[in-house]
Homo-oligomer: A and B are copies of this chain.
Amino acid sequence: MAKTGSRVTIKDLASMCDVSTATVSRVLNHIQGGYSGETEARILKAAEELGYAPNLMARSLVTKKTNLVAVLVPDIHYYFFQEFFAGLEAYLNKFSYRLLLCNTQEDPRQEEQFIRSLCNGLVDGIIVSTLNSREENELLIELNEEHFPVITLERYGEELRDLCSVQVGNFDAGRMAVNYLYSKGHRKIAFIRGKRDARNADIRYEGYLAGLEACGLQPDESIVRYGDYTFEAGRQAMSELLENGGFTAVIGANDLITLGACKAIMKTGRRIPADISVVGIDKTILTDTHEPTIVSIDFCAHQVGITVGECIMSMINGESLGKRIFRQRSVLFEDGKSVREV
């Protein structure tokens, strides 16, 4: 039965059931009133038998809704985005919304091109993430002013204006990592920073500095390096740090860096955490699967995805969120268990 991808239209159903397309449309959309139960049954039966499926394009043309949301990310590989997508997708699906995935490759030109082509009819809303310091928000601001639903994720530009933004607890993470290590007795804590031009990397570092200060520790530039958010850079940075020493613990600005650092540490025969304690940021499964398990601070990407979903759906439903910043709290994980505020 049921020719599926077939070209059966509402017109076919109409002529088959001897009614107008209007009536068919009403029945299929379960619009209250305007037809009898008998007619309804007849149309529903025909639709079922012919495997009718509405042409979403045609519908969108008149309703101005496509039930599609685009999400632009700089690089799909970041583990954070996996969880984020899962949370977002699950939330949107509840409202029959689907996710359009766009990889901007951290290229502002690509980003602009994507946005321009998507926002004119194809998607009902857009979620824009970035790792890039060269944020170009004018286009987003313009869209927002025209009441087109836009959410930014992890953007920190001066000029976000009235954009609704969702951010993770970068600052908290840096601070919590220090607090945790301090509570374990460490007084000289090294830090491997993220990408040089990434704003969220700087914020994690600022959190680290704030943590030091709160604990009454002196910051020491000689035990700080850059790690580019990659495994290799993390390993390299750690190797350099180990040459000079002068610390008993190290924090990596993300898990990849942290694992690289662990590699470097273990290569020298030192043991974790006996000789050097390690804490990661932006918890992924990586630190759980590692032997030994590494403490890491979770940005709760899944929850971030849900929050972003809530925001975009509100905007799509006409609510004006205006300038608002949602910041997800970070949570420290030790051995698979979340640890209360440290």
Contact = CB atoms under 8 A, between A and B. Distances in A.
Nearest to A60: B57
Contact of A99 (B101, B116, B231, B289): B101
Contact of A5 (B60, B119, B259): B119
Contacts of A118: 98
A66 B56 CA distance: 11
A89 B70 CA distance: 14
A315 to B, nearest CB: 13
A119 B99 CA distance: 15
Contacts of A90: 103
A265 B299 CA distance: 30
Nearest to A147: B5
Contact of A256 (B5, B57, B66, B289): B289
Nearest to A86: B76
Interface residues of A, number: 56
Interface in A120-152: 120-122, 139, 142-143, 146, 148
Contacts of A122: 56-57
Contact of A76 (B82, B98, B116): B82
Contacts of A102: 89, 98-99
A318 interface: no
A266 interface: yes
Interface string A50-61: 010111111011
A143 B4 CA distance: 7
Given A53-B117, A55-B120, A90-B103, 12 more contacts: A4-B142, A5-B143, A54-B120, A56-B121, A58-B121, A93-B103, A101-B101, A231-B288, A256-B285, A259-B289, A286-B286, A290-B291
Interface of A: 3-6, 51, 53-58, 60-61, 66, 68, 76-77, 82-83, 85-86, 89-90, 93, 98-103, 116-122, 139, 142-143, 146, 148, 231, 256, 259-260, 262-263, 266-267, 285-286, 288-291
